């Protein structure tokens, strides 16, 4: 065989397969981990995971360019982009300002890696319907070890098609690959020519070499610095590594290329560590004699809450949803479900939520067992108060709890989706300065400025066109009631471009005795459709105070004539 040397002095043979080597005999190479266990790895890669996860809660982001951004060195940098934004030229690592220059109307959302990871874990738990051995990998991949599970679904092909159909039904883009090692499956999902890409089952290192040979070295899950170093020496494809002795690779590029290559080829084991099953917190009571009276049922629930709240307290947890299951003598059961706006383990408010629904329990000929289970449990972040009982936000902890208890009662009575609050959004336009946030996506309380709820990491954040955290403005007066949309009025000016001394609204003329302004507000620079506005705080002879604005601030010689609107009313 004719050999050549590259710039690093490493002897290579292009992409000609080398003879099989035993890594245990190579100096510095990882040792084999023992007898090989038959596995079949199905890798599911979600290339647009952050943007598609958020798009489920923001329908407008499905048909428009959409990016998530993170702060880096005082600048906002694109962290992830959806397909439309990518096709328009927006890529991760690009400054947001440059991205807006390319796509002015791009939708922006703050990046939330913790929420992405939590949602991926939930997706992995959902995927255990295909196999109990599921593991999230990195930020956008699931590994499923489907060995022994394919017959249930009618074979590998049917199982793969079923998984794809389900994920696409969630609005997710997915690429799939099957191989006997996680490393090979990972490589084929990203760089394989087919979707799904399939490596032969039971393939040894030689067969896997043929499947991976023409893929770039980045397919080995190497760090970007290692990939750049390999490519700079002409080692751009996996096949170029086959003829190089491991000791030479280790000496020049470190242990990572050898380890990753051996993992992909199955020479060393790479375990799939499935998620631990979630064990619901539960308590139960069995009765020698069936119970049927409301008092007995109430007493049983009281005892169950004692047990369950004590168990959650020792674990530092609280319940977000609880189910009360009453097993009747007839052999059927009745179930009550309550939810909470934050993790809760206090017995009194939980008892109150169940008490409101006890009339829905029909005991029939009697209830012989009751089970109380909390299937959504979250860690409780303890709230530090000062000596007066106030929280850092200036609110009493007792008031926060009372407000949260009220919201829980309203949510269980009318539905949590019907309860919301206004939260600030970074915009100078009054009608865009706030957005409604659902209760389950809110903070630990409903106070302005309260922090994110420990249990709501995967909930969508308020829609925002800036990633800069917003807060309620305190340096300017705003009306108690904002009209939506603003209503047109006929204003009378002292002089062109001056303050009005009266306006006609709904057929009634208001003579003004005091006017403050103008306060000029302009929309975001990338929104060219909205004209600038001059706002005036006006008080009429009857004492009514109004917030007026002139659309299209008047400059000399401009046409058409500016219009006036009433946007709000002060108390």
Q: Is the pLDDT of residue 102 over 70?
A: yes
56 within a domain of the structure (yes/no): yes
Alpha-carbon span 329 to 368, nearest angstrom: 6
Of 277, 279, 321, nearest in space to 125 by CA = 277
Q: What mean pLDDT is predicted for residues 107-119?
A: 91
Domain of residue 254 covers: 35-45+117-265
Pair (188, 247) in one structural domain = yes
How many other CB atoms sit within 10 Å of the CB of residue 224? Answer: 8
230 and 135 share a domain?
yes
pLDDT at position 178 is 95
Shared-domain flag, residues 202 and 67: no
Question: Which H or E element spans position 117?
Answer: helix 113-126
CB 235 within 8 A of CB 5: no
495 and 558 belong to one structural domain:
yes
Q: Which residue has the higher pLDDT, 16 or 138?
A: 138
My answer on whether 146 and 240 are in the same domain is yes
The verdict on residue 135 lying in a domain is: yes
Across 375-400, average pLDDT: 62
Exposure string for 148-172, b = 16+ CB within 10 A, e = fewer: ebbeebeebeebbeebbeebeeeeb
108-134: average pLDDT: 92
**Looking at 265, 289, 310, which one is the last position of a domain?**
265
pLDDT for position 470: 56
What pLDDT, on the 0 to 100 scale, is given for residue 430? Answer: 86
In angstroms, the CA 340 to CA 416 distance is: 9
What pLDDT, on the 0 to 100 scale, is given for residue 552?
73
Structural domain includes residue 335 = no
Angle between helices 294-315 and 347-355 (to 10 degrees): 140
Do both 247 and 125 map to the same domain?
yes
Tell me, yes or no, whether 140 lies in a domain. yes
Q: Which residue has the higher pLDDT, 246 or 276?
A: 246
- Of residues 384 and 476, more confidence is placed in 476
Confidence at residue 35, expressed as pLDDT on a 0 to 100 scale: 44
Q: How confident is the model at residue 387 (pLDDT cuts 50, 70, 90)?
A: low
Classify 331 as helix, strand or coil: coil
**Is the residue at 101 inside a domain?**
yes
pLDDT (average), residues 328-356: 91
Q: Are residues 86 and 161 in the same domain?
A: no
Sign of CA dihedral 313, 317, 322, 326: negative
User: In this model, does residue 11 exceed pLDDT 50?
Assistant: no
Q: Which of 265, 298, 333 is the last residue of a domain?
A: 265
What average pLDDT does the segment 263-284 reach? 87
DSSP code per residue over 59-83: GGGGSS-EEEEEEETTEEEEEEE-H
Same domain, 77 and 92: yes
Check which CATH number belongs to the domain holding 249 and give it.
Answer: 3.30.70
| Residues 163 and 88 placed together within one structural domain of the fold | no
In angstroms, what CA-CA distances link 387 with 384, 397, 404, 464? Answer: 10, 11, 22, 37
Distances from the Cα of 50 to the Cα of 163, 343, 435, 440, angstroms: 19, 26, 22, 20
Q: Count of CB atoms within 10 A of residue 473's CB? A: 11
**Residue at 403 is within a domain:** no
Is the pLDDT confidence value at 19 over 60?
A: no
The more confident residue out of 565 and 495 is: 565
Q: What is the per-residue pLDDT for 455?
A: 31
Q: Is the pLDDT of residue 377 over 70?
A: yes
Supply the CATH number for residue 63's domain: 3.40.1170.60
Task: Tell whether the model's pLDDT for residue 121 goes beyond 50.
Answer: yes
pLDDT at 344 exceeding the cut of 70: yes
Listed residues 113, 133, 161: the one ending a domain: 113
- Dump pLDDT digits (tens) for 446-491: 333 333 332 333 333 333 333 344 567 676 788 989 998 999 999 8
Report the distance separating Cα 412 and Cα 390, nearest Å: 28
Same domain for 87 and 187? Answer: no
- What are the helix and strand counts (H, E) for the chain? 14, 22
Lowest-confidence range among 27-41, 278-292, 508-522?
27-41
Q: 104 and 151: one domain?
A: no
405 with 349: CB under 8 angstroms? yes
CA–CA distances in Å: residue 562 to residues 19, 249, 557: 82, 73, 12
d(CA 260, CA 222): 7
Are 39 and 171 in the same domain? yes
CA distances from 563 to 132, 310, 494, 536 (A): 65, 64, 15, 14
Phi first, then psi: give them for residue 377, nearest 5 degrees: -125, 135
Dump pLDDT digits (tens) for 291-311: 999 999 999 999 999 999 999
Q: In residues, how long is the chain?
A: 571
Q: Give percent above pLDDT 70 in the chain.
A: 80
Which pLDDT score, from 0 to 100, does residue 427 have?
A: 76
- Please check whether residue 429 lies inside any domain of the structure: no
The pLDDT assigned to 442 comes to 42
pLDDT tens for 70-90 read: 998 889 999 999 999 999 999
Number of structural domains, the chain? Answer: 3
DSSP E strands in 469-559: the ranges are 481-493, 500-505, 508-521, 533-540, 545-551
Name the one residue in this structure whose structure tokens are 């219009």: 563
- The more confidently predicted of residues 502 and 463 is 502
Tokens of 55: 């798009």
Looking at per-residue confidence, does 498 or 181 come out higher? 181
pLDDT at 17: 47
Task: Please state, in angstroms and rounded to a whole number, the distance separating the CA atoms of residues 376 and 424.
Answer: 29
Q: Is residue 375 part of a domain?
A: no
Residue 319 has pLDDT above 70, yes or no: yes
Write the CB contacts of 378 (distance below 8 Å, at least 6 apart in sequence).
317, 318, 320, 343, 454, 455
In the chain, % helix, strand, coil (3-state, to 5) comes to 30, 30, 40
């Amino acid at each position: 065989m004719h050999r050549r040397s590259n710039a690093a002095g490493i002897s290579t043979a292009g992409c000609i397969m080398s003879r099989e080597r035993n890594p245990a005999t190579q100096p510095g190479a990882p040792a084999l981990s023992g007898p090989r266990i038959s596995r079949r790895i199905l890798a599911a890669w979600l290339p647009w995971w952050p943007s598609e996860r958020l798009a489920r809660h923001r329908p407008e982001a499905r048909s428009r360019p959409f990016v998530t951004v993170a702060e880096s060195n005082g600048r906002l940098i694109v962290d992830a982009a959806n397909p439309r934004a990518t096709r328009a030229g927006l890529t991760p690592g690009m400054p947001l300002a440059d991205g807006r220059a390319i796509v002015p109307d791009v939708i922006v959302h703050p990046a939330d890696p913790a929420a992405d990871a939590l949602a991926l874990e939930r997706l992995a738990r959902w995927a255990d319907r295909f196999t109990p051995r599921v593991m999230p990998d990195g930020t956008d991949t699931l590994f499923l070890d489907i060995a022994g599970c394919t017959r249930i679904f009618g074979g590998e092909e049917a199982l793969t098609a079923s998984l794809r159909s389900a994920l696409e039904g969630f609005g997710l883009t997915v690429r799939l690959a099957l191989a006997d090692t996680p490393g090979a499956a990972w490589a084929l999902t990203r760089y394989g020519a087919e979707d799904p890409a399939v490596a032969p089952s039971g393939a040894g290192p030689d067969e896997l070499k043929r499947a991976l040979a023409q893929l770039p070295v980045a397919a080995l899950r190497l760090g970007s610095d290692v990939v750049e170093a390999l490519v700079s020496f002409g080692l751009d494809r996996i096949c170029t590594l086959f003829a190089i002795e491991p000791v030479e690779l280790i000496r020049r590029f470190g242990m990572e290329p050898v380890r990753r290559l051996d993992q992909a080829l199955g020479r060393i084991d790479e375990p799939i560590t499935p998620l631990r099953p979630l064990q619901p917190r539960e308590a139960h009571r069995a009765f020698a004699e069936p119970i049927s009276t409301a008092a007995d049922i109430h007493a049983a629930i009281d005892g169950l809450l004692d047990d369950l709240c004590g168990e959650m307290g020792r674990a530092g947890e609280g319940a977000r949803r609880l189910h009360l299951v009453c097993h009747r003598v007839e052999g059927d059961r009745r179930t009550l479900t309550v939810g909470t706006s934050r993790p809760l383990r206090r017995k009194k408010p939980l008892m109150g939520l169940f008490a409101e629904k006890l009339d829905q329990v029909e005991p029939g000929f009697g209830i012989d067992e009751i089970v109380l289970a909390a299937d959504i449990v979250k860690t409780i972040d303890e709230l530090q108060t000062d000596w007066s009982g106030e929280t850092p936000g200036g609110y009493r902890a007792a008031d926060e709890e009372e407000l949260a208890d009220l919201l829980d009662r309203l949510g269980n009575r009318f539905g949590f989706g019907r309860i919301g609050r206004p939260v600030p959004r970074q915009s100078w336009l009054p009608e865009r300065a706030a957005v409604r946030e659902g209760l389950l996506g809110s903070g630990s309380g409903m106070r302005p400025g309260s922090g994110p709820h420990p249990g709501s990491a995967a909930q969508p954040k308020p829609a925002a066109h800036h990633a800069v955290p917003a807060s309620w403005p305190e340096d300017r007066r705003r009306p108690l009631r904002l009209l939506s949309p603003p209503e047109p009025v006929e204003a009378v000016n002292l002089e062109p471009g001056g303050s009005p001394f009266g306006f006609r609204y709904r057929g009634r003329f208001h003579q003004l005795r005091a006017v403050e302004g103008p306060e000029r507000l302009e929309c975001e620079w990338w929104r060219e459709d909205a004209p600038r506005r001059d706002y005036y705080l006006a008080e009429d002879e009857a004492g009514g105070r109004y917030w007026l604005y002139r659309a299209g601030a008047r400059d000399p010689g401009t046409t058409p004539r500016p219009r006036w609107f009433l946007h709000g009313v002060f108390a």
